[in-house]
Amino acid sequence: MDIKEFFKVNFEIEVPKYVQIANNLKNLIETKVIEDGEKLPPIRDYTEFLKVNKITVVNAYKKLQQEGFAYQKVGSGTYAKKKEVVSTFMREYSNTFKRLSTGNLEEAIDFAGETTGELLFPIKDFKDIINKVLDRDGAEALVSQNPLGYENLRKTINKVFWGNDLDNEDILIVSGAQQGIDIASKAILNINDNVIVEKPTYGGALSVFRWRRANIFEVDMEEDGVNIESFEKVLKKNKISCFYTMSYFQNPTGISYSLEKKKKIMELAQKYDFYIIEDDYLSELIYDESVDYIPFKWLDKNDRVVYIKSFSKIFLPGIRIGYIVSPKIFKESIQNSKINTDIATSSLMQRALEMYIAEGKWKENISSLSIEYRKRYKLMTRLIDSELKDSVSYNKPGGGLSFYLTLRDEHITSKLLFQRLVKKGVYITPGALFFRNIKDGNKTFRIGFSQTDKDKISKGLKIIREELELCRI
């Protein structure tokens, strides 16, 4: 191999040579002299080029891998890995919603929200439940208990949602789905391990895997889940540690997996020895009777699924409670990761949630939410078909809280649309937030209806249509 001059290092006496080599390579990667994914010089060639010991180059490459600037392919060599940074647009998007949260929310049309609107919160019921818990348990309700979670809550989750098919000890209470993903990734992934995600996928999960310095492989979504052929190609070429998936009403696409694809992925998990992190997102909100609820975890004969469920998204976002069901192999490490993260989740909220579920209030709340959200879903479907039919394409999700739209006009980007709509008091989620490379999301955006009533849905979609028409002028 002909090693270019920029790989040369003018060694200083005070600093170990392997550190100087690694620092030079980091600088070349950060400044894009060495491109992301470009192969670094073979160890033997680089040793001769620099006139150093082989172990010096080996240690330099190990340092790069440990710091997330390189990864190794067995039998192939070491490759550069550009550390991802927050884009200017990501910051702009974040700052927009920080300003919105401190401004006048009443007038805003928020199609970007992902949680239940405050008017649908079961405030009175939950207040009564909290009073009952305090009357029953007194001060004990305010004291942190088992770091695995309130025992009766774990038992009730097992009974109500799993028919007592689980071991109570396999259920871990966490502070929402985001913490669940973080805890699961810490248990499964090491630096430079490989993870497959859906393309596009939940931005919060991408952030977790980036922080773990994992190598992220994206596989395109089809109408019933990931493309299996592409999925297996990645598996054949790379040692994959886990696959992150949202099996129902995937965020952002709204796609639900077919039973056939779920079974195939379970087979591949066993064949290629990887684990599945299943984020069961909004599966309670099914409006289309053709959608059957059969999560990956129900098909898990080989104990390969980490199941994550949050109660925050459609119940009370402020309580931040969810749970994980983990495979036996990761049970201890997931529990330790939870303890190291925040020791325990609110004891009072856990006890209140347990009583809320045990007394049947949870099912009543979901039933009333489904009635209201089904109305909004149907209205939004009708209005997208009438107001935006010439501007976007989409697949009907059949449930959940949002729609994922693709712009037809090649000259309009979702970033431009977002910026124009903000000035009109309408907020959408551009597709850029759901891809490793934000350019992949240029033509897509998500709109949700959980934070909007019927009048705002009608008004907001009319404004979107008008702005799309103005973009063409």
Mean pLDDT for each consecutive 10-residue tract of the chain (473 residues)?
A: 77 85 88 86 90 92 86 83 64 69 71 73 83 90 80 95 92 91 92 94 92 91 97 95 97 96 98 97 90 95 96 74 93 85 78 93 89 95 94 94 94 91 93 84 93 94 94 75
The answer for residues whose C-beta is within 8 angstroms of residue 143's C-beta and 6 or more apart is 347
Which 8-state DSSP code applies to residue 42? P
CA distance 71 to 48: 22
Which residues fall within 8 angstroms of residue 463, CB to CB, at 6 or more apart?
Answer: 109, 421, 424, 426
Q: Quote the CA–CA distance of 20 and 11 in Å, as a whole number.
A: 7
Q: Find residue 278's DSSP bridge partners.
A: 245, 307
Measured from the Cβ of residue 172, the count of other Cβ atoms closer than 10 Å reads 25
Instruction: Say if residues 323 and 155 touch (Cβ distance below 8 Å).
Output: no
Write the single-letter amino acid at 472: R
What one-letter code names the amino acid at 100? L
Give the pLDDT of residue 405: 97
- CA–CA dist 193, 239 (Å, integer): 8
Q: Which H or E element spans position 125? A: helix 123-137
CB 170 within 8 A of CB 324: no
Instruction: Determine the number of helices (DSSP H) and then strands (DSSP E) in the chain.
Output: 15, 16
* C-alpha distance from residue 117 to each of 94, 97, 109, 114, 377 (Å): 20, 16, 12, 9, 15
**All structural domains of the chain:** 5-80 (1.10.10.10), 88-113+363-472 (3.90.1150.10), 139-359 (3.40.640.10)
Task: Report helix angle 151-162 to 347-358, nearest 10.
Answer: 30
Q: CB burial class (10 A; 0-12, 13-18, 19+) of residue 378?
A: exposed
| pTM, 2 dp | 0.81
Structure token pair of residue 259 = 């039973």
Give 392: exposed, middle or buried? Use CB within 10 Å, 0-12, 13-18, 19+. Answer: buried
Strand 215-222 with 194-199, pairing: parallel
How many whole angstroms separate alpha carbon 235 and alpha carbon 102?
46
- The pair of three-digit structure tokens given for residue 87, joined into one six-digit string: 């884009």
pLDDT of amino acid 173:
93
Residues 6 or more apart whose CB falls under 8 angstroms from that of 372 comprise 120
Helix, strand, coil in percent for the chain, rounding step 5: 50, 15, 35
CA distance 70 to 81: 5
Supply φ then ψ for residue 466, to 5 degrees: -65, -40
Cβ–Cβ under 8 Å, residues 185 and 327: no
Q: How far apart are CA 183 and CA 181, in angstroms?
A: 6
pLDDT of residue 317: 66
Residue 275, by phi and psi: left (phi above 0), alpha (psi -120 to 50) or beta? beta
pLDDT (0 to 100) of residue 32: 81
